[in-house]
């Protein structure tokens, strides 16, 4: 697919999802509450624990708030428009386009995902980054990045994380070609995605024994790598390794997704006559 075509698909789906403003505001509200609960719990643990916390108080605060900003980046749910397409047979129209079907869906998924992330992340960033300090809630506000280099690494890692999240989400979309229904996979996925990405508990707080496993799995590239780079928990000098691993996972998952989709489309039954 040509870049201009890919961009057209991404931006169209982005704008389509932007229509659902109420959902976005509800999401922002939920994430604020979640953020406070997680932050308060983790601070209480840090204060009562005997060992030093692996994350400094600033790193912890940044990790939690940015994590909440990126909550909708988590590839745990399916795009309802894709589900509807497969269920009703409108997927037939996707297959009569002179473009690669995987690429077309990847772009759709990317537009949907980024639209949801932007509508929730931007208001929340303003809230925790600007409103909290102005309101005198300095202790709860989003700390600045560790350095300009850390911010740059964070942005690069986040971009890779978005592509990774889309590749993971595509696996889910492809399975609908067989199951016709996302229920099963969207119940299974959150258990892995939420825990192993660091969304519920920051990954540095996990026991040392499981750290090598967490580092090897793809889920870490979603938010953990970017957020640790932001707070300086991973220094700029060591940024390349984890980012490259996330990129490699992204490429591998795209190859897997394409292979599954090719198989799925060979056996597809277009529903509804």
Partner 1 sequence: MSQIVVESLTKVFRIAERRAGLRGALAGLVRRRNREVRALDGVCFQVGRGELVGYIGPNGAGKSTTVKVLSGILVPTSGTCEVDGRIPWRDRRAHVRNLGVVFGQRTQLWWDLPVVESFELLRDLYAIPADRFRAVGDELTRRLDLGGLLNVPVRQLSLGQRMRCDLAAALLHEPGVLFLDEPTIGLDAASKLAMREVVRTINREQGVTVILTTHDMDDIESLCQRVLVVAEGKILCDGSLASLRRTVSSERHLIVDLAEGISWNGLDGLPAREVEVAGGRVRLGFDPENVAAAELIGRLTARYPVRDLLVENPPIEEVIAKLYAGGKA
Least distance in angstroms from the C-beta of 81 to partner 1: 8
Residues 146-185 binding partner 1 (CB under 8 A) are none
Closer Cβ to partner 1, 80 or 187, answer by number: 80
Position among 33, 92, 122, 251 found at the interface with partner 1 (CB under 8 A): 92
22 binds partner 1 (CB under 8 A): no
Residues 99-138 binding partner 1 (CB under 8 A) are 99-100
Closer Cβ to partner 1, 58 or 94, answer by number: 94
21 binds partner 1 (CB under 8 A): no
201 binds partner 1 (CB under 8 A): no
81 binds partner 1 (CB under 8 A): yes
Closer Cβ to partner 1, 156 or 268, answer by number: 268
SS3 readout for the chain: CCHHHHHHHHHHHHHHHHCCHHHHHHHHHHHHHHHHHHHHHHHHHHHHCCCCCCCCHHHHHHHHHHHHHCHHHCCCCCCHHHHHHHHHCCHHHHHCCCCCHHHHHHHHHHHHHHHHHHHHHHHHHHHHHHHHHHCCCHHHCCCCCCCHHHHHHHHHHHHHHHHHHHHHHHHHHHHHHHHCCCHHHHHHHHHHHHHHHCCCCCHHHCCHHHHHHHHHCHHHHCCHHHHHHHHCCCCHHHCHHHHHHHHHHHHHHHHHHHHHHHHHHHCCCCCCC
Q: Contact positions toward partner 1, by CB under 8 A?
A: 2, 4-5, 8-9, 12, 15-16, 19, 81, 88-90, 92-93, 95-100, 266, 268-270, 272-273
């Amino acid at each position: 697919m040509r870049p201009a075509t890919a961009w057209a698909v991404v931006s169209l789906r982005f704008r389509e999802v932007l229509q659902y403003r109420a959902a976005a505001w509800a999401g922002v509200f939920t994430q604020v509450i979640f953020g406070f609960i997680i932050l308060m719990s983790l601070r209480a643990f840090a204060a009562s624990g005997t060992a030093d916390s692996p994350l400094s108080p600033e790193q912890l605060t940044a990790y939690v708030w940015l994590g909440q900003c990126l909550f909708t980046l988590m590839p745990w749910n399916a795009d309802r428009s894709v589900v509807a397409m497969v269920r009703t047979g409108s997927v037939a129209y996707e297959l009569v386009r002179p473009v690669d079907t995987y690429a077309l869906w990847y772009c759709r998924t990317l537009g949907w995902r980024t639209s949801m992330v932007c509508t929730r992340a931007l208001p929340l960033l303003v809230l925790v980054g600007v409103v909290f300090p102005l309101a005198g809630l300095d202790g709860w506000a989003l700390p600045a990045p560790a350095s300009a280099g850390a911010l740059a690494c964070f942005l690069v890692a986040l971009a890779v994380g978005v592509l990774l999240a889309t590749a993971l989400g595509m696996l889910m979309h492809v399975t609908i070609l067989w199951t016709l229904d996302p229920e099963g996979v969207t119940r299974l996925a959150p258990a892995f995605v939420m825990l192993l990405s660091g969304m519920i508990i920051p990954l540095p707080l996990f026991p040392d024994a499981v750290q090598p496993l967490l580092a090897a799995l793809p889920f870490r590239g979603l938010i953990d790598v970017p957020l640790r780079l932001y707070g300086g928990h991973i220094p700029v000098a060591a940024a390349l390794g984890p980012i490259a691993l996330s990129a490699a996972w992204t490429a591998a998952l795209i190859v897997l997704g394409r292979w599954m989709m090719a198989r799925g489309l060979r056996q597809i039954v277009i529903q509804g006559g």
